[in-house]
Chain A
Amino acid sequence: MSGRLRTTTSCAIAATAVVAACAGCGGSSQSYAIDSLDALSATTTTTEPEAAESSTPSTTISERRRECEEQGLETASYAPAQTLDVYEGSYMQHLRDLERIRVGVDENTRGLSARKAESGDIEGFEVDLAHEIAKAVFGEELYSAERVILIPLLTSEKTSSVADQQVDLTISAASMSCRRWEEVDFSAEYYTAHQEFLVRSDSPIRTAADLDGRTVCVTANSTSLGILEELVPEAVPLPVDARTDCLVALQNGRADTYFGHDTFLYGMLLQDPTLEIRTGILDPDDTVSHYGIAINREHREFTRFVNGVLEEVIASGRWQEMANQWLVMELELPPRIAVPVPPEPNYGREA
């Protein structure tokens, strides 16, 4: 009997030991792989949409800007180069050495500069202008179309890309303003546009008062946004990155109207015949836009050179030819602005 009991006891002890041992090794198998999931979240998530830049001017106003505002030098550039010589040490020679010129353009604006769906090429008045400048920089022998590198920019990048030297110049319907003159130099004016309202045909917006509380689409960091905030503060601006984003906003109902240059609006009318341009809502004097080519402030000789090219393009009739092809034929501008006239250059800025 005692033997049996002893066996029982030792069995119990042995069993307890087994239980204890198994409890020790009883963990479930570990996955090494689950840690690799961290790689998904650790990496930066793809870009958040950029916050629309506000057009509020910086608080400190520079000497250059004060002078520009006091003397009305908005559209005043430097006197053109007497000859289009490319000399040693000039920025033009630098471009020749690099065998390329980088031009910031838009890719969505029919007539001025838009990407052709069939070919993928960017074409328009401003692109032709870029090639005219390139021809002068490289000369007959060195020029070829491939030397011109077109870099599509958002409206908010027009001048900053020039200042950062990401592009050599920007030709992208940039309205000259004293605020922008702070960041870059401008060539003489190459086109004069007005800003109007694009609406759906059934829209009740006919006067400035009708804009009260309406959502008005504008491109971020554009002069249109500044004009709108000043003249129609009751309107609700909807800033977007690209000009065509405003067309999308009109089509999907997010915006009641698009406030932009007539050069943009007529191109959009071609893309959507259910829209209408309402003119005369604001005083044309307040909405006039003088387009200049933005150039880095470090290379004044290049600005003078470009002004020289503009003189020649206008004098030779090439300007009119380009305007006919791209603005009259392509954009079907209405009679009021159907005969584009080259702007009078203003060289009122002292070097």
Chain B
Amino acid sequence: MGANARATETLEPRRLAAISTPVAFWTCLFAVVGGLLALAMVGVRAANERRDGVATVGVDAARLLDDTESLYVALADADAVASSGFLLAGLETRERRSRYDADIQQAGQQLAAISANSELSATDRAAVARISEQLVVYSDLIATARANSRLGHPVGAAYQRDASDVMQHQLLPAAQSLYAGAARQLDEGQRAGTSRDLQVVLIAVTVAVVLLLVLVQVFVSVRTRRLLNIGLAAATALAIGLCVTTIVKLEAQREALVRAQSEGSDPMLVLSTARILALRSLNDENLDLIERGTETTHIADFDAVTASIGDREATSGVLGTASAHAVDDAARARIDSIVGLYAAYLDVHARVRELTDKDEYDLATDVAVGDQAEAAAALDGALADEIERSRSMFERHADTASLRVNQLPLTVLVIVVVAIAFAIGGMWPRLREYR
């Protein structure tokens, strides 16, 4: 026996002599049960928070991102159909009409899906309200334009311009801000779903509870002159086991969620942004041709937007980011093919510009509504496919992540109940001795 132990032994009775043994034991038992309950609370809370991070915020936000992107695409496509119809003149073909109708219907459905989301911020709600309101105005203007044009009235074109104005200045900016809001929400969900803050708290509480259990063990040993209280020892082991299990599960969940982000939501976000920008550039081109070069802002916007998308080799811009963060060779190959389609789109654009520079507007218009629209559709399709692929990757990993922690709150509770049972079982005979 060392000096330390002797000091403790001599100190012990002096300090606690005043308290009768049963009272002290009851106090110990309550402290232990309280500590274990606190551990249960923190464990369940950590597990729940992570699960909510994935399930409600993560998955919902991913769906919201998808919905807002689809809304933007539907709106931009409706206007592209309408404005290229304006370029083409002639009566609206059956295909164009049904594509426009499908776009408007799609926009309406996405809008309904978005408003059903309970996590929308006040700004987002305002944007949804603005879109619902202006979409009616827009389709009314298009209908008036259509009726007038059918009668051969030039005023149809004026209604068409007004409609396009509503689209460019009201609908698309609102849809874009909704999309950005959803992206930020997704980012926050990811953060909450991968945060280790509660893990740290859990470890700290475990350490405190284990310390408490050990101290009680020592105290009980001293008072009862028995070497080891089996019940308390088992409770200690269970507390440590609980902590380890929880941390392992949470880390597994975290890893799945990090993969959901790097292979799913991040590429999804980057590519959706590229898609929105590409659609906007196509609209710029159409508007520029409608104005026949008398208005330079559309081309300036086209240049700024395409600079944001990136250069032909994807060394910069949004596509550059997508390429730099490709998760594997297969993904890189797919991004490369998207970049190839984008370069082809820029090539056709260069041809259109060459023609407009020579004032060959009719030829330029033919190229714009023909080859360029095709190149844009190919790019848009490839982006949509890759976005869809990223989305399913996200959902897969997010599912795995939530599987990892689904049973965790229950497991934590069971372990704690057993630990409490052991602690009581360990203390009960000692307490009975003093009855």
- Across the interface, name the chain A residue whose C-beta is closest to B269: A33
Counting chain B CB atoms within 10 Å of each CB, the highest count among A45, A100, A102, A117 belongs to A117
- Across the interface, name the chain B residue whose C-beta is closest to A46: B168
- Across the interface, name the chain B residue whose C-beta is closest to A47: B297
Residues in B239-273 with C-beta less than 8 Å from chain A: 254, 257-258, 261-262, 265-270, 273
Task: Determine whether the beta carbon of A157 is less than 8 Å from that of B150.
Answer: no
B292 CB-CB contact with A under 8 Å: yes
Chain A residues lying within 8 Å of B361, measured Cβ to Cβ, are 149, 151
Q: How far is the CA of A102 from the CA of B269 in the complex (A)?
A: 45
A5 CB-CB contact with B under 8 Å: yes
Chain A residues lying within 8 Å of B301, measured Cβ to Cβ, are 43-47
**Closest approach, in angstroms, between the C-beta of B410 and any C-beta of chain A?**
24
Q: In the complex, which of the residues A22, A120, A166 contacts B90, with contact meaning CB atoms closer than 8 Å?
A: A120
**Closest approach, in angstroms, between the C-beta of A330 and any C-beta of chain B?**
11
A61 CB-CB contact with B under 8 Å: no
Task: Determine whether the beta carbon of B308 is less than 8 Å from that of A42.
Answer: yes
Chain B residues lying within 8 Å of A220, measured Cβ to Cβ, are none
**Closest approach, in angstroms, between the C-beta of A274 and any C-beta of chain B?**
13
B293 CB-CB contact with A under 8 Å: yes
A325 CB-CB contact with B under 8 Å: no
Task: Determine whether the beta carbon of A32 is less than 8 Å from that of B90.
Answer: no
- Across the interface, name the chain B residue whose C-beta is closest to A242: B158
B70 CB-CB contact with A under 8 Å: no
Residues in A243-298 with C-beta less than 8 Å from chain B: 244-245, 247-248, 251, 267-268, 270-272
Residues in A89-130 with C-beta less than 8 Å from chain B: 100, 102, 107-110, 114-121
Task: Determine whether the beta carbon of B265 is less than 8 Å from that of A33.
Answer: yes
Q: How far is the CA of A16 from the CA of B200 in the complex (A)?
A: 10
A19 CB-CB contact with B under 8 Å: yes
Q: How far is the CA of A244 from the CA of B157 in the complex (A)?
A: 8
Q: How far is the CA of A245 from the CA of B173 in the complex (A)?
A: 24
Please tell me the number of chain B residues within 8 Å of chain A, measured between CB atoms.
Answer: 95
Chain B residues lying within 8 Å of A161, measured Cβ to Cβ, are 294
Binding-face segment, A7-15, A51-59, A224-232, A333-341: A7-15
- Across the interface, name the chain B residue whose C-beta is closest to A152: B292
Q: In the complex, which of the residues A26, A44, A46, A149 contacts B197, with contact meaning CB atoms closer than 8 Å?
A: A26
Q: In the complex, which of the residues A2, A16, A108 contacts B4, with contact meaning CB atoms closer than 8 Å?
A: A2
B130 CB-CB contact with A under 8 Å: no
B327 CB-CB contact with A under 8 Å: no
Q: How far is the CA of A73 from the CA of B204 in the complex (A)?
A: 95
Q: How far is the CA of A31 from the CA of B300 in the complex (A)?
A: 30
Task: Determine whether the beta carbon of A19 is less than 8 Å from that of B161.
Answer: no
Q: In the complex, which of the residues A1, A117, A120, A151 contacts B1, with contact meaning CB atoms closer than 8 Å?
A: A1
Task: Determine whether the beta carbon of A49 is less than 8 Å from that of B273.
Answer: no
A351 CB-CB contact with B under 8 Å: no
Task: Determine whether the beta carbon of A268 is less than 8 Å from that of B155.
Answer: yes
Q: How far is the CA of A235 from the CA of B107 in the complex (A)?
A: 42
Task: Determine whether the beta carbon of A29 is less than 8 Å from that of B159.
Answer: no
Residues in B70-126 with C-beta less than 8 Å from chain A: 88-91
**Closest approach, in angstroms, between the C-beta of A54 and any C-beta of chain B?**
19
Chain A residues lying within 8 Å of B204, measured Cβ to Cβ, are 19
Q: How far is the CA of A100 from the CA of B261 in the complex (A)?
A: 57
Chain B residues lying within 8 Å of A151, measured Cβ to Cβ, are 292-294, 359, 361
Task: Determine whether the beta carbon of A5 is less than 8 Å from that of B154.
Answer: no
Binding-face segment, B26-34, B185-193, B339-347, B376-384: B185-193
Chain A residues lying within 8 Å of B157, measured Cβ to Cβ, are 107-108, 115, 244
Please tell me the number of chain A residues within 8 Å of chain B, measured between CB atoms.
Answer: 70
**Closest approach, in angstroms, between the C-beta of A21 and any C-beta of chain B?**
10
Task: Determine whether the beta carbon of B218 is less than 8 Å from that of A120.
Answer: no
B238 CB-CB contact with A under 8 Å: no
Residues in A124-182 with C-beta less than 8 Å from chain B: 146, 149, 151-154, 157, 161, 166
Residues in B199-214 with C-beta less than 8 Å from chain A: 199-200, 203-204, 206-207, 210-211, 214
With A5-B5, A26-B200, A27-B196 as contacts: A43 and B308 at CB distance below 8 Å: yes
Q: In the complex, which of the residues A2, A25, A28, A157 contacts B294, with contact meaning CB atoms closer than 8 Å?
A: A157
Task: Determine whether the beta carbon of A117 is less than 8 Å from that of B152.
Answer: yes
Chain B residues lying within 8 Å of A120, measured Cβ to Cβ, are 88-90
Chain B residues lying within 8 Å of A267, measured Cβ to Cβ, are 154
Task: Determine whether the beta carbon of A47 is less than 8 Å from that of B154.
Answer: no
Chain A residues lying within 8 Å of B206, measured Cβ to Cβ, are 15
Q: How far is the CA of A169 from the CA of B291 in the complex (A)?
A: 17
Interface string of A313-349 (1 = CB under 8 A from B): 0000000000000000000000000000000000000
B392 CB-CB contact with A under 8 Å: no
Chain A residues lying within 8 Å of B9, measured Cβ to Cβ, are 1
Chain A residues lying within 8 Å of B297, measured Cβ to Cβ, are 44, 46-47
**Closest approach, in angstroms, between the C-beta of A238 and any C-beta of chain B?**
14
Q: In the complex, which of the residues B90, B168, B173, B203 contacts A18, with contact meaning CB atoms closer than 8 Å?
A: B203
Q: In the complex, which of the residues A28, A114, A166, A251 contacts B154, with contact meaning CB atoms closer than 8 Å?
A: A114
Q: In the complex, which of the residues B195, B266, B277, B321 contacts A40, with contact meaning CB atoms closer than 8 Å?
A: B277
Interface string of B264-301 (1 = CB under 8 A from A): 01111110010011001001100100011111011011
Residues in B128-157 with C-beta less than 8 Å from chain A: 148-157
With A36-B321, A46-B169, A153-B294 as contacts: A15 and B154 at CB distance below 8 Å: no
Task: Determine whether the beta carbon of A19 is less than 8 Å from that of B218.
Answer: no
Task: Determine whether the beta carbon of B5 is less than 8 Å from that of A1.
Answer: yes
Binding-face segment, B15-23, B176-184, B423-431: B176-184
Counting chain B CB atoms within 10 Å of each CB, the highest count among A27, A47, A152, A244 belongs to A47
With A5-B218, A15-B206, A22-B203 as contacts: A119 and B90 at CB distance below 8 Å: yes
Q: How far is the CA of A28 from the CA of B179 in the complex (A)?
A: 23
Task: Determine whether the beta carbon of A109 is less than 8 Å from that of B154.
Answer: yes
Q: In the complex, which of the residues B148, B180, B294 contacts A154, with contact meaning CB atoms closer than 8 Å?
A: B294
B325 CB-CB contact with A under 8 Å: yes
Task: Determine whether the beta carbon of A33 is less than 8 Å from that of B321.
Answer: yes
Q: How far is the CA of A336 from the CA of B429 in the complex (A)?
A: 121
With A37-B180, A40-B180 as contacts: A247 and B1 at CB distance below 8 Å: no
**Closest approach, in angstroms, between the C-beta of B314 and any C-beta of chain A?**
13
B318 CB-CB contact with A under 8 Å: yes
- Across the interface, name the chain A residue whose C-beta is closest to B91: A118
Q: In the complex, which of the residues B155, B168, B257, B300 contacts A271, with contact meaning CB atoms closer than 8 Å?
A: B155
Interchain residue pairs with CB less than 8 A apart (6): A28-B190, A31-B266, A33-B183, A100-B359, A151-B361, A272-B153
A residues bordering B, Cβ < 8 Å?
1-2, 4-5, 8, 11-12, 15-16, 18-19, 22-23, 25-29, 31-37, 39-49, 100, 102, 107-110, 114-121, 146, 149, 151-154, 157, 161, 166, 242, 244-245, 247-248, 251, 267-268, 270-272
Q: A11-B211, A33-B269, A107-B157 are in contact. List 17 more A-B contacts (CB 8 A).
A: A1-B8, A2-B8, A15-B207, A19-B200, A19-B207, A29-B258, A33-B183, A40-B176, A40-B180, A115-B157, A117-B89, A146-B362, A151-B292, A151-B293, A151-B361, A248-B158, A270-B153
| Top-10 shortest CB links A-B | A120-B89, A26-B196, A244-B158, A15-B207, A39-B308, A33-B266, A271-B153, A47-B297, A33-B269, A2-B5
